Amino acid sequence: AQSVTQLDSQVPVFEEAPVELRCNYSSSVSVYLFWYVQYPNQGLQLLLKYLSGSTLVKGINGFEAEFNKSQTSFHLRKPSVHISDTAEYFCAVSRSGDDKIIFGKGTRLHILP
């Protein structure tokens, strides 16, 4: 079975500073990896996904993530955050394109002025 671990429940960062949100996964088979964002009082929106190919994946709003198979990680990064990035970020994994998605516990990104 697949699982996802998000090591940080909250990450405070100053505006315009870089940020990295950590995600590790476990699976005995090849996986697809995702990052979703949940803005306050809203649903889940896909930021980016890794299915195959280049290990560096670029998403919306200036975010990117790098798939590292040897470290079973898929950390999310942004070089300069904005106050509008305040949200909950969920790392997720699925076994194949048509399998259910399993979510991590989420990391709350708190932007400090």
Partner 1 sequence: EPEVTQTPSHQVTQMGQEVILRCVPISNHLYFYWYRQILGQKVEFLVSFYNNEISEKSEIFDDQFSVERPDGSNFTLKIRSTKLEDSAMYFCASRKVGGELFFGEGSRLTVL
Give the Cα separation of 8 and 57 in Å (integer): 21
Specify the stretch interacting with partner 1 by CB under 8 A; choose among 22-30, 61-69, 70-78, 97-105: 97-105
Q: For residue 46, state whether it binds partner 1 (rule: CB under 8 A).
A: yes
- Residue 49 pairs with which residues in a beta bridge? 34
Total Cβ atoms within 10 A of residue 4: 22
Of the residues 50, 106, 109, 111, which one makes contact with partner 1 according to CB under 8 A: 106
Q: For residue 49, state whether it binds partner 1 (rule: CB under 8 A).
A: yes
Q: For residue 100, state whether it binds partner 1 (rule: CB under 8 A).
A: yes
CA distances to 15, 43, 58, 68 from 54, in Å: 29, 28, 10, 11
Judged by CB, which is closer to partner 1: 70, or 100? Answer: 100
Give the Cα separation of 74 and 33 in Å (integer): 7
Judged by CB, which is closer to partner 1: 36, or 67? Answer: 36
Q: For residue 103, state whether it binds partner 1 (rule: CB under 8 A).
A: yes
Q: For residue 82, state whether it binds partner 1 (rule: CB under 8 A).
A: no
- Residue 73 pairs with which residues in a beta bridge? 24, 68
- Point out which residues bind partner 1 (CB under 8 A): 34, 36, 42-46, 49, 90, 97-98, 100-106
